[in-house]
Structure 1
């Protein structure tokens, strides 16, 4: 019996949020360097990037909204209702590299490129018009600085991978056709999940392949690799299934060839992406007390991998080299579970089940802030998390 494996998309009622107002704090440039966190408001009435200014002590404040030039859309849960949280059933809907931010417009079937102002990183400007993703319901985007290429995972009825040449001054230009995911996915628009839905797209650290994770629906899920040949992403994928990984959810590379992946049916796995783009499972870590570990992160400074639980406010820590579970730390129980997360220095920023952002000091293994966003907007569309610089 799986431990609440469908919890992130079955939640129809979000608990009452904390009633505290926004924290007021204006020292966000106290160390001389502006910093920011970004997430997507995937709103069917008009999507926007939400920017939070980060202080020298890791505290976030002053949310700022910038249009993405398109519309959002909400994925469906297994009871046939739109998700109350986790609207794209995925990780990676926002990515930042240098002064570029990329995000998806799931309802418009487009991907948007925005420029980040170095002096004020909450000042975002669209670069060119959002580009057609050639598919339906784009959910995740990745970027290779080496190739100056972005790729998008479409998770709807017309599923597949689309790629774009990225010009920081003029915008996005389509690079090749929609790359098929074949029989690995059979979804609707909007998709229903988590089982059977797409999860994430990532360039590997050497930009020699694009990696896609897809959740299974009964049988094992898929890891699909699209090799890069002559600086172009191949149209032919290498399809892999690992027998004991059922719900291939969020993933993150922990070195050039090792992919740390979380699966709410058991815990976490470390996968080796071989030179021929086949996949071998190196470590299989059962996290017995987890409820729904669906998000993944990695801290290179301590070589620690994180499995983030959407069913309860718990972050599990694992030795990235061995996969050994080392412990966990928790947030205030009133905020529910934890979703999209990003690490900057000693701080982790996570979307909470309730309407707000949790900040952890991961060295001290404790929560240091909950920023209540109740007065700013609706929780349902919030997804993704990325940091600058």
Structure 2
């Protein structure tokens, strides 16, 4: 089972060049639906002087007009455990290095342990304005961020020697308040971690924003099992007292190894999760007990490291990417079975993709380029009912971003 994971480690995972009875509503497959197109995409350069690149989305889904806005923070890359050298590409080994909530954009700065916040201009979403100074995070090497617009909370996951999750209130007009405290995970790491294993994969608020979920990758060589942590969000957002619980329920899911990027399946308690050891899984999270169960597990053919996941409402299916294989794979939200595979070799000069997101009838996948300082690119995949998935554009970012580029988020967030 671990052959692919070992292979991913050899290449640095992009760091070196059960079924249980469910409520009826959770078992039903909904029909593909209409979804409005996005207006802008965002990712971070993750260079020493970190910056956000904002890219315009046109009515036909294609991209243009990249704009850089500095975070006033410092980017950084972790080490590859396989080579003990700086990881490139995929220097953060996470999903959610940038996140959108309402008219707010957030980005982690791994090099100085901070998180930046921007206001998005709804009239021109590529125009973003930094709010205040980056907020200090009580942990080493922040890699992933999520925000709750309902509760005005932002939470950051860190993967270094003091690894875990910390949260803070935010104002969409002023910026981020003081971070509370680190909810620690048992990560055997240095301040600059050696990944990709034994690090945080992603933090994400649930659809109703009553839970904060975190994937933490295991490390079989150290006899450490990965897990999904669920924290309860309580208190009142109206009085400014909404808080994330101090303790979580950590569920180890037999058969999984390195739970990574994930997204909630709409109107259910199920989540679609990538795992580079084999492919993907669908898990349920009990909204009362915060415990998780593995429902379906699916190997992805010809994969080396399936790490990032996104759900398209238009096609009612999930899509995953791999930094070492030039394909984008579509899978069922019912049982995680493979629906289609799009070979992207002809449209991508690099070896694969390191994040993705969906909006309208399109899926967008970030390729940070190769180690030869080639430019980052974003592939535009046309999807949806009665459509054959195909690449309609590979948008080159030129000098704005290269092999350190990380994260991908869309405005408006869906």
**For residues 86-235 of structure 1, what are the structure 2 equivalents within 5 Å?**
86-174=90-178, 176-181=180-185, 183=186, 185-218=187-220, 219-230=224-235, 231-235=242-246
Say which of 373, 379, 383 aligns to 2:402: 379
Q: Aligned residue for 1:327?
A: 340
Q: What SS does the aligned partner of 2:255 have?
A: coil
**For residues 336-347 of structure 1, what are the structure 2 equivalents within 5 Å?**
336-347=351-362
Q: Aligned residue for 2:27?
A: none
The reply on whether 1:261 has 2:284 as its aligned counterpart is: no
Give the structure-2-normalised TM-score. Answer: 0.85
Q: What SS does the aligned partner of 2:215 have?
A: strand
Say which of 64, 71, 79 aligns to 1:68: 71
Show structure 1 runs of 5+ residues with no match: 14-32
Asked if structure 2 preserves the Cα contact closer than 8 Å seen for 1:8 and 1:292, the reply is: no
Runs of 4+ with deviation above 4 angstroms = none
CA RMSD in angstroms comes to: 1.7
Asked if structure 1 preserves the Cα contact closer than 8 Å seen for 2:16 and 2:88, the reply is: yes
Figure out how many residues of one structure are paired with residues of the other and give that number: 366
Q: What SS does the aligned partner of 1:196 have?
A: coil
Cα deviation 1:210-258 (Å, max 9, x = unaligned): 1111110104211111112323101112111112111111111113411
Give the structure-1-normalised TM-score. Answer: 0.90
Does the C-alpha gap of structure 1 residues 232 and 162 become closer, same or farther in structure 2, counting only changes over 3 Å? same
Asked if structure 2 preserves the Cα contact closer than 8 Å seen for 1:214 and 1:222, the reply is: yes
Asked if structure 2 preserves the Cα contact closer than 8 Å seen for 1:262 and 1:293, the reply is: yes
Rounded Cα–Cα distance in structure 2 between residues aligned with 1:138 and 1:67: 17
Asked if structure 2 preserves the Cα contact closer than 8 Å seen for 1:53 and 1:63, the reply is: yes
Asked if structure 1 preserves the Cα contact closer than 8 Å seen for 2:312 and 2:363, the reply is: no
Rounded Cα–Cα distance in structure 2 between residues aligned with 1:47 and 1:188: 22
Query: Does 237-246 or 168-177 show the bigger shift?
Result: 168-177
